[in-house]
Amino acid sequence: MPKVLVSDKLAKEGIEILKQAAEVDINVGLTEDELCEIIGDYDALVVRSGTQVTAKVLQAAKKLQIVGRAGVGVDNVDVPVATERGVIVVNSPGGNTIAAAEHTVAMLLALSRNIPQAYVSMRAKEWNRSKFTGNEVYKKTLGVLGLGKIGQEVAKRCRSFGMKVIAYDPFITEDAAGPGIELVDFEDCIKRSDYLTLHLPKNKDTLGLIGAKEFEMMKDHVRIINVARGGIIDNDALIAAVKSGKCAGAAIDVFETEPPDFSNELFDLANVITTPHLGASTEEAQTNVAIDVAEQIVDVFAGRSARSAVNMPALSPEVLAAVQPYLPLAQRMAALAVGVMEGRCHKVEVKFLGELAKTESGPVTRAVLAGVLGPMVAESVNLVNAPVVAKSRGIEVVESRNPDFDDYVSLLTVTVTTDKGSTQVSGTLFEGREMRIVQLAGFPMDFVPEGVVLISDHSDEPGVIGSVGTLLGNEGINIGGMYVGRKAARDKAIMILSVDNDVPDAVMSKLAELPAINTVKQVHL
Ligand code: NAD
Ligand code: MLT
């Protein structure tokens, strides 16, 4: 059974799903070194935002197939290193959207009406109504930076308060923004807003996005809410803006390091209200994200694709269902091409014909690359890291498609080019599921690519097939199936033999020495 390490708190519903397919260990609060010491035993790791899945952790994770991030932001996972190492990273893109949006709105109202400050004052047995007079949000302008899932839900709720909503998001269209939201540029957004709310991922473009210069451009008495990530607002600039009165108040849920350094001046400012990264902390959201990542881990263990992988192309369930059966075919076709080819590979071409040309092809090309590269490189190559490994080896990858093709409903053709020439394989799925190779190295054929196969290239003359059969029989190797392809009688021919066991090197040498056999290769599919 595969082993899963859960290193941050995860809802029990997720643990139960994982336990159906794996042995699950829960070990929360590990340091990086402690995690490095034990991670080598695990096939999957589940984290929230507490665990830092660093390059060092990933290097130590010898068996790791998948990291499940029970939440949205994957800034605590070194995704490029995970990708290089073929570790799939999945998250739960929508499981906590509503929780984070509701928390943002709660922070916005609490900030406007000084609710936390008034509560603290009453706990001190004070009755001070005038001190906590606030502002209405009605008719105020809300600027949303990052109009993705959470930003849109916040916008919707704030419009119902009668706020004017403007938003900056360079990756979203007017149509996707939804009604009543004015898309503006960054400067316009920060200049016009009475309230500014952040819903961006943390990355090199957004780190420090709001600094002293940006506060300077804002309206006097702007209020700012950050339920996205610490570091997107520069902490010193925020403190300065609040102290000068430029910023009337800030509501902050997220910090550059968590837990934060409480000696920081931010925590002494009366009009800064804070929560300890509670955006996603509702029972509903935690159940959603736990189930979401657990199901994906179980899918990956079962050889299925993960629906929300961040280092694989995102596919809709329909597209995934259409391409999934082609993945093993693609990988086996590539392994056959590599088995037959001579020389150093520098180009892989993948051609999609018929119905297959009409669907998303990324995962199929990745499967081809994994099949080509698997036997060539020492590291393990899979759908996640295949493009990175191909690039690092200088292998050119070319995809082409032709939907107007009548010979088969769908046909996949892989051509591997080396310094010695090109090898082409074509394959299809009969009735959408039975794998068939229909052409290999220019020879038409029809065989099922599975198990151990011997591929020989010989001259088409009487007795060759018999001599191969006799030799294998004498060595106790059973032949399960045979296909012979030739272009014309007495011309060059190709023979594919499915055998029940591995053929030892000594027997391979004897086969190669048979008269009329030019080459013979063994391929494991
Ligand atoms: P999302 O991917 O749906 O939305 C992010 C949006 O930001 C996208 O529309 C994207 O186009 C936009 N964007 C990216 N870079 C940008 C840039 N440089 N300038 C402007 N827009 C940019 O993600 P989401 O689910 O809405 O979550 C947003 C972020 O909120 C997450 O990345 C996560 O860090 C954070 N989050 C925090 C909590 C919490 O508990 N506080 C909970 C959930 C999510
Ligand atoms: C997220 O990115 O999903 C949030 O930070 C919430 C969390 O990690 O709990």
pLDDT at 7 over 80: yes
Percentage helix, strand, coil, to 5, in the chain?
Answer: 35, 25, 40
Q: Which of 216, 258, 284, 475 is catalytic?
A: 258
* Average confidence (pLDDT) over 425-454: 92
Share of the chain above pLDDT 70, in %: 100
Fold agreement (312-450, 451-525): no
Tokens of 2: 């595969």
Q: Which of 199, 223, 277, 332 is catalytic?
A: 277
Instruction: Check if 431 is active-site.
Output: no
**Domain spans of the chain?**
3-94+284-310, 97-274, 312-450, 451-525
Q: What local confidence, expressed as pLDDT, does residue 408 receive?
A: 92
Q: What local confidence, expressed as pLDDT, does residue 150 receive?
A: 96
Q: Distances in Å between the alpha carbon of 336 and those of 158, 169, 253, 350, 474?
A: 59, 47, 54, 14, 26
Tokens of 107: 């922070």
**pTM for the model:** 0.80
Q: What local confidence, expressed as pLDDT, does residue 361 receive?
A: 85
Q: What local confidence, expressed as pLDDT, does residue 252 receive?
A: 98
Q: What local confidence, expressed as pLDDT, does residue 426 receive?
A: 97
Q: Ligand 2 pocket: which of 7, 77, 79, 277 to mutate (most atoms <8 Å of CB)?
A: 277
Instruction: Check if 223 is active-site.
Output: no
Q: Distances in Å between the alpha carbon of 413 and those of 342, 353, 401, 484?
A: 19, 8, 10, 20
Q: What local confidence, expressed as pLDDT, does residue 382 receive?
A: 87
Distance CA 132, CA 123 (A): 14
Spatial CA neighbour of 60 closest among 27, 35, 31:
35
Tokens of 314: 């995102």
* Average confidence (pLDDT) over 463-481: 91
CATH superfamily of 97-274: NAD(P)-binding Rossmann-like Domain (3.40.50.720)
Q: Which residue lies with its CA nearest to atom 4 of ligand 2? A: 71
Question: Residue 253 C-alpha to ligand 2 middle, in angstroms?
Answer: 11
- pLDDT digits 0-9 by tens, 18-71: 999 999 999 999 999 999 999 999 999 999 999 999 999 999 999 999 999 999
One DSSP character per residue, 417-429 reads EETTEEEEEEEEE
Distance CA 386, CA 277 (A): 36
Q: What local confidence, expressed as pLDDT, does residue 316 receive?
A: 73
Q: Contact, 35 vs 57, CB < 8 A? A: yes
Spatial CA neighbour of 292 closest among 99, 71, 44:
71
Phi, psi of 484, deg, nearest 5: -115, 130
Question: Residues near 53 by Cβ (< 8 Å), separated by ≥ 6?
Answer: 45, 47, 67, 76, 77, 78, 82
Pick the CATH number of 451-525 from 3.40.50.1580, 3.30.70.20, 3.30.70.260, 3.30.70.1140: 3.30.70.260
Higher pLDDT, 205 or 163: 163
Average pLDDT of the chain, as a whole number = 93
Q: Distances in Å between the alpha carbon of 179 and those of 102, 183, 185, 398?
A: 20, 11, 18, 41
Alpha helices of 114-180 — where are they, by DSSP H? 115-123, 149-159, 174-177
Question: Residue 229 C-alpha to ligand 2 middle, in angstroms?
Answer: 9
Range with the poorest average pLDDT among 58-72, 104-118, 188-202, 459-473: 459-473
Question: Residues near 282 by Cβ (< 8 Å), separated by ≥ 6?
Answer: 96, 99, 102
CA 209 to mean position of chain CA atoms: 26
Tokens of 192: 């016009």
Q: Contact, 352 vs 400, CB < 8 A? A: yes
Question: Residue 510 C-alpha to ligand 1 middle, in angstroms?
Answer: 63
Instruction: Check if 103 is active-site.
Output: no
- pLDDT digits 0-9 by tens, 372-426: 998 777 677 888 899 988 998 889 999 999 999 989 999 999 999 998 899 999 9
Instruction: Please name the fold of domain 3-94+284-310.
Output: Rossmann fold (3.40.50)
97 lines ligand 2 (CB under 6 A): no
* Average confidence (pLDDT) over 75-103: 95
Q: What local confidence, expressed as pLDDT, does residue 210 receive?
A: 98
pLDDT-derived band at 246, boundaries 50, 70, 90: very high
CA 278 to mean position of chain CA atoms: 25
Q: What local confidence, expressed as pLDDT, does residue 49 receive?
A: 94
CATH number of 312-450: 3.30.1330.90
Share of the chain above pLDDT 90, in %: 77
